[in-house]
Amino acid sequence: MKMEGGRNDEIFEGGRNENDNRAYWDLHEAAAKGDWGKAEEIFKGNPQFVGDEHSDLRNTALQAAVLAGHSDFVEKLLRSSYMKKEDLERNIGGGNTAFSHAAMLGNIEVVLMMLEKNKDLVNIRYEGAKLPVQMAASVRQEKIVKCLYNPKKDKDHLNDEDRILLLLTLIDNDIYDVAQSMVEEFPSLAVSRENKTDGNGETALHALARKPLMTLNQLSNKQGILKRFCYRFIRSIMVEKKKMDPKARKLLEVLWEKIVNQLDYNQISNLIGTRSRLISDAAKEGNIEFISILISKQPNVIYGYDENGYTLFHTAVEYRQDKIFELIYERDSIKNVICALKAGKEKNTILHLAAKLPPDQNRLNVVSGAALRMQRELWWFKKVRKLLPPSYAGYKNGQGKTAQTLFTESHKDLMKEGEKWMKTTANSCMIVATLIATIVFAAAIAVPGGVKDDTGAPHFLRKASFKWFVIFDIISLVSSSCSILSFLSILTARYAEEDYLRSLPIKLLLGLVTLFISTIAMMVVFCTTLFIIFDEGTKVLAFLAVALAFIPVTTFIWQQTSLFRDVVRSLSYNISPCKAK
């Protein structure tokens, strides 16, 4: 609205007129850019803007500077006479303060400066009644968590519910050392459950059970540069092995120590068995170290089952966790009982679970290509079947289906995708092999340097490089021809279920190996030709051409390494699960 006297001072929310509103916009812009000089000029005329909140922007100048990451601006504002201790406690519409933003962004410098100004900031709860340390933990700001949390001094501002929620958040976000210090300071946290009205009643053990194992590459990120390089080099040439984070393993040991000091045997069984997702979640993630430690401490967990009636081994089979499934080999006394058990609504045996596609489709993506996924599924089914007495293979589930029938029905689409992928791959590779065969055949006919008119013998017959030319031309022609035949046999295969186990992968491997050999040999033929036709004075050009010639070869082989490795791995599986005893 307009004021009397023709003034154009429109009144905005909070009692500010148009000029004040313009000044606040300028202040916000200066804070976002880190322009302290301009902001200070505005503060001199409008000191109330320090803790004021714009109705549209919904944040203060301090919050704008923190979000933009201007630590120098924040430092000057905190040390100025305009900023009061209470201004740091201002939040956005009942939401987050500048301090909570700094904590979640991991700006340790700003956090320390604000705490120096107002030490009560660590105790102020924000949206969802969360403390700053809980918010920092939820976004994996480990340095901020260690700055804000001290187990020996938290008794005044953290209650029991705060502590268990913080502990679970720390575990979920891999901040294990702080979690361990909490458990050591407050042993009751080891047996505490999350509030059932707000959560699902989980304990710290449940949170640890859900944690996936770490690969060498992930572990290397926590090491020095040299170790990271070594880990990644190993990863490039071999199958990655997964391990439990050493800090998580230590936390598990501390948790168990506190549990056995507080509960008796039956109470421990109840802790593990109640809402029995603990062992089930660990089995789904393939957390073999967690399960092995738990079994060594509490052997009866191996007999437990979840709400679906699935034992540890049923879940391991369903989610294709072979390392956990292999634990059954060591327990002959319960092997037949578990394998014959019909569980779940469909009354499936353990072999029926192996016959179905895994609920987590990512378990199929551990290898490239639908055909190799089908091969892995078939291998897994046969591995589980080998464990059972022959008569068990004929057991029917609640739908009247045997495991073999269920396998065929479940994998019908995957078989079609596998056939399409295999033919597409074979066709593409066969084209390359055919081109190589054509090139080296033409090179053999058109002899480098030509032939003598009188005898028909090559001019450079006595050169050593010419002999290498002949040898590698033959190698390239023979290997490319073998590659063509291998890929042709893939195109004409019958694609029966059993073919995916060994026949098709062997043909694909043979085709790839011979293709690699023919490609390398072809480039050697090219290089030897250069050395034949160039004389001694121009050999530098020959060496340069050789270096450049191997760039496409190296690129091609590097791009196909992943496929080659997956095929080799697929053929290295031992179908028989039996171990020597």
pLDDT tens digits, 172-203: 999 999 999 999 999 999 988 887 654 457 88
Looking at the DSSP bridge assignments, the partners of residue 243 are 214
In the predicted model, is pLDDT for residue 218 greater than 80? no
**pLDDT confidence of 573, banded at 50, 70, 90?**
low
In the predicted model, is pLDDT for residue 13 greater than 60? no
Radius of gyration of the chain (CA): 35
| Average pLDDT score over residue span 281-295 | 86
Query: What is the residue-averaged pLDDT of the chain?
Result: 80
pLDDT value for 20: 64
Range of weakest confidence among 12-21, 236-245, 348-357, 562-571: 12-21
CA distance 361 to 365: 7
CATH 3.30.930.10 assigned to domain 4-151? The reply is: no
pLDDT value for 467: 84
CA distance 497 to 520: 35
- What is the CB neighbour count within 10 angstroms for residue 200? 11
What are the structure tokens assigned to 309, written together? Answer: 């009636």
Q: How many residues does the chain have?
A: 581
Strands 214-215 and 242-243: antiparallel
| Average pLDDT score over residue span 125-137 | 81
Q: pTM surpassing 0.85? A: no
CB crowding 248-281: b at 16 or more within 10 Å, else e:
bbebbebbbebbeeeeeeeebeebbbebbbbbbb
pLDDT (tens digit per residue) in 249-263: 999 999 999 998 998
Give the DSSP letter of residue 311: B
CA distance 528 to 109: 63
What are the structure tokens assigned to 55, written together? Answer: 């109705």
**pLDDT confidence of 289, banded at 50, 70, 90?**
confident
Choice between 230 and 331, residue whose per-residue pLDDT is larger = 331
Choice between 301 and 186, residue whose per-residue pLDDT is larger = 186
| Average pLDDT score over residue span 53-61 | 62
pLDDT value for 458: 67
CA distance 65 to 82: 15
pLDDT value for 92: 58
Percent above pLDDT 70 for the chain: 80
Range of weakest confidence among 23-37, 183-197, 528-542: 528-542
In the predicted model, is pLDDT for residue 534 greater than 90? no
| Average pLDDT score over residue span 22-30 | 82
Dihedral (Cα; 559, 564, 567, 569), 10-degree rounding = -110
